[in-house]
Amino acid sequence: MTSTTSFTALDTAFVADFHTMSTFGATENGGVDRQAGTAADGEQRRWLTSLLQDRGFTVKFDAAGNQWGLYETVPGAPFVVVGSHMDSQPTAGRYDGAYGVLAAAHAAFRLAARWNEPGASAPTFNIAVVNWFNEEGSRFKPSMMGSSVYTGKLELETALATTDAAGTSVREALESIGCRGTFAGPTAAYCAEIHIEQGRSMEREGITIGLVSSNWAANKYEFVVHGEQAHTGSTVIEDRKDALLGASMLVVAARELANRFPGVLHTSVGQLNVYPNSPVVVPSRVSLLLDLRSADEAVLAEADALLHERITEIEALANVAVEQNHSHSWPVTPYQPEGVELAAKVAADLGLSNKTVMTLAGHDSTNMKDIVPTVMLFVPSVDGISHNEHEYTTDEDIVAGLAMLTEVVDRLCHGALEDQDPVRTA
Ligand code: HGY
Ligand code: MN
Ligand code: MN
C-alpha cells in the first residue's frame, strides 16, 4: 500500500473531487442519501455534467436517464463505456457506485491528456463515461434499471412507467431533475467498471485489486400476503387472518433457508409494507421483497423450491394467501476471461496485488458483459461494510483503483481485446 505522501497532483485532485461529490445528499453520519431521480441525484448529475464539460467532454442524457460523457477522438468509432452509478440506497455510503463514476471520469481525463501528448499512440476506440440511472432500485424497482434498458433487458416504456411508493413515475422523476434526454446512447465496443468489493475477502488477504471473474445469481421476489383486517383485542385468535404473521414467517423462512446452505446461499427480506399499519388492527395486507442469492444455480433452484413449499405451509399455518408478483433474477455468468487476463496483466505491470473474485452483488457491468466484453474491477471495502453510512475505502486504495482503471481503459481503447472479435451493439 502506498502512502498519501506519494500521491501525484492528479491523485490529490481526484480525492478532492471525491470529497466534493460526497456532499450531494450528505447525511449527518458521513454517508449519503441520493436515491434515483431525487433532487440530490439531480444536483450531483449537474455537478458531473460541469466536471465533464470543463474537460471538453460532450454530455448527453438518454431516454432512460443514463448520463453520458463522450470523448470522441476517432470519429465514428465505437466507444469503450466506463462508469457505474451515482444513485444510492437511503442512508448509504459514499463509495458504492459513485466511486466508479468519478474514477471513470478521471481515468478518461488522464487518457485524454496522455493521447494529446506529442508522439502518443492514437486510440482505436472512443471513451464514454457513464452514470447509469437507478442501479440501486431502492426508490424504483428493478435495480440496474438504466443499464437494463440500454442492454435491451427492460423495455424503456416499462421503466418510465414504474412508480415509487408515492406514485411518482420514473418519467416524472427524470423530468423533474432535467435528466430525461433523447440520446440513443453510444455504440459500445467494450465496457469497464470499478466498484468497492462490499465484502471482506480482499481486505482480509491484503489485496488491492479484485479481478471479477463472474457474478452470483439472484432471485428477487415480490410477495403480497393477504389476510383480513380485524380488531387486535376482540377478535379471537382462531378467527384471525393475520397478514403480518404470515409475512413474519416468510422472513424467518428466508433465514432458515440460508442456514440450510451455510455460506453458499444468502437470503434476506429488505422491505416490508404493512397495511393498514395501525396499532389496534390485525393487518390485512403485507407486501415484502425477498432475495435469494448463490454462486451455485443448483442451490438457488433448490432454495426456490423449498421456499415455495414453505409458502404453502405458511398459508395454512397463518390462514393467509401469499401472492407472488414480479420477480427479478439473473444467472451466474462469467466476465469474459480475456478481459480478466488483460486486467491481471495490467495489475502486474502496475505492481498492484490482485486476485480473481466473484461479485455477490449485481452491478451495471453484470448487464453490460452480456453484450460486450467487460472488465469489472474491485477495490477493498474496510470491514466489508456497505449499504451503510460507514462504508469506507482508503484513499490509497481508491487512488490505486483509478490508476488500474486508467490503464485498463487505455488498453481497451487501443484494441487490446480486438482479436477477441467483440459483439457490438447497434
Ligand atoms: O445487488 C443488487 O441487488 C443491486 O443491483 N446492486
Ligand atoms: Mn453499486
Ligand atoms: Mn448498492
Do 273 and 339 lie in one domain? The reply is no
Do 359 and 246 lie in one domain? The reply is no
The pLDDT score that the predictor gives to residue 420 is: 59
Looking at 330, 358, 388, the residue that finishes a domain is 330
Residue nearest to atom 2 of ligand 1 (CA): 362
User: What distance in angstroms lies between residue 168's CA and the mean position of ligand 1's atoms?
Assistant: 22
Residue 425 domain flag? no
Residue 300 domain flag? yes
User: pTM of the prediction?
Assistant: 0.96
Do 110 and 236 lie in one domain? The reply is no
Of the CA atoms within 13 Å of residue 168, those in its CB half-sphere come to 13
DSSP-assigned letters across all residues of 95-132: STTHHHHHHHHHHHHHHHHHHTSTTPPPPSSEEEEEEE
Do 341 and 364 lie in one domain? The reply is yes
Do 210 and 268 lie in one domain? The reply is no
Do 324 and 177 lie in one domain? The reply is no
Mean pLDDT, rounded, for 82-97:
98
User: What distance in angstroms lies between residue 140's CA and the mean position of ligand 1's atoms?
Assistant: 13
Mean pLDDT, rounded, for 373-393:
98
Place 318 in a pLDDT band, splitting at 50, 70 and 90.
very high
Beta-carbon count within 10 A of 74 CB = 13
Ligand 1 lining (C-beta closer than 6 Å): 135, 137, 143-144, 361-362
Helix, strand, coil % over all residues of the chain, rounded to 5: 40, 25, 35
Q: Which of 88, 144, 221 to mutate to test the pocket of ligand 1 (most atoms within 8 A of CB)?
A: 144
Place 424 in a pLDDT band, splitting at 50, 70 and 90.
very low
Which atom in ligand 1 lies closest to the alpha carbon of residue 361?
1
Do 212 and 299 lie in one domain? The reply is no
Residue 420 domain flag? no
Do 237 and 212 lie in one domain? The reply is no
- Bridge-based pairing of strands 67-71 and 58-61 is antiparallel
Looking at 308, 330, 352, the residue that finishes a domain is 330
| CB under 5 Å of ion ligand 2: residues | 96-97
Residue 166, CA distances (Å) to 64, 143, 170, 244, 322 in order: 20, 18, 12, 22, 24
Residue nearest to atom 6 of ligand 1 (CA): 362
Place 55 in a pLDDT band, splitting at 50, 70 and 90.
very high
Which atom in ligand 1 lies closest to the alpha carbon of residue 291?
3
Q: Which helix (H) or strand (E) holds 300?
A: helix 297-318
Query: Residue 279: which domain range?
Result: 217-330
Query: Number of folded domains in the chain?
Result: 2
Q: Which of 86, 133, 135 to mutate to test the pocket of ligand 1 (most atoms within 8 A of CB)?
A: 135
Q: Average pLDDT of the chain?
A: 96
User: What distance in angstroms lies between residue 319's CA and the mean position of ligand 3's atoms?
Assistant: 36
Tell me the CATH number at 399. Answer: 3.40.630.10
Among the bound ligands, the one closest to the CA of 289: 1
Do 72 and 196 lie in one domain? The reply is yes
Do 209 and 247 lie in one domain? The reply is no
Place 77 in a pLDDT band, splitting at 50, 70 and 90.
very high
Residue 282 domain flag? yes
Query: Which residue is listed with cell 477477441?
Result: 420
Q: Which residues pair with 376 in a beta bridge?
A: 193
Tell me the CATH number at 322. Answer: 3.30.70.360
Residue 85 domain flag? yes
User: What distance in angstroms lies between residue 361's CA and the mean position of ligand 1's atoms?
Assistant: 5
Residue 240 domain flag? yes
Look at residue 347 and give its three-state secondary structure.
helix
Do 267 and 208 lie in one domain? The reply is no
Do 228 and 365 lie in one domain? The reply is no
Place 426 in a pLDDT band, splitting at 50, 70 and 90.
very low
- Bridge-based pairing of strands 285-294 and 265-275 is antiparallel
The pLDDT score that the predictor gives to residue 96 is: 98
